[in-house]
Amino acid sequence: MDRMNTPSPAIPGLNVKGPAECKSLADVRADIDQIDARILDLLGLRFKYILPAAHFKLNDGKIVHDETRFRHQITRAGDLGEQRAMPRTYIERLWARMIELNVEIEEVAWAKAKAEREALKPT
């Protein structure tokens, strides 16, 4: 069965036709717009964890970028993508870029928190 004719998984709160039921480009775009909105909801939630992670790492004496964790996340995402009939390379590249952007934000938060902590130390 090709990807276009694969039934869409049921996702609560997502009301899309599914690729096989789309009859026009407008149908495809309408479904994609709904899916994109849900992806952004989840990314927004994920984003809220970046600042707490930076503070925990600072408190634990860790640096922001952990190459072992990074590689684990990329491999795990690739595995999950394959389980969902998605190209592993696509998912791994997408995940790597997302994590790189998150690390950039986390590094700024980490550095700011560290500077604030240093400013509070008695001289």
Domains and their CATH numbers in the chain: 1-47 (no CATH), 49-123 (1.20.59.10)
Helix axes 50-59, 88-120, angle to 10 degrees: 60
Q: What is the pLDDT of residue 11?
A: 79
The model's pTM is: 0.80
Dig out the tokens for 92 from the structure.
Answer: 């791994």
pLDDT one-digit tens code per residue, 87-122: 999 999 999 999 999 999 999 999 999 999 889 888
- The backbone region for 31, taken as left when phi is positive above 0, alpha when psi lies in -120 to 50, beta otherwise, is alpha
> pLDDT category, 14, cuts 50, 70, 90?
confident
> pLDDT category, 1, cuts 50, 70, 90?
very low
As a whole number, the mean pLDDT across the chain is 91
- Per DSSP, helices labelled H in the chain are 25-47, 50-59, 67-83, 88-120
> pLDDT category, 76, cuts 50, 70, 90?
very high
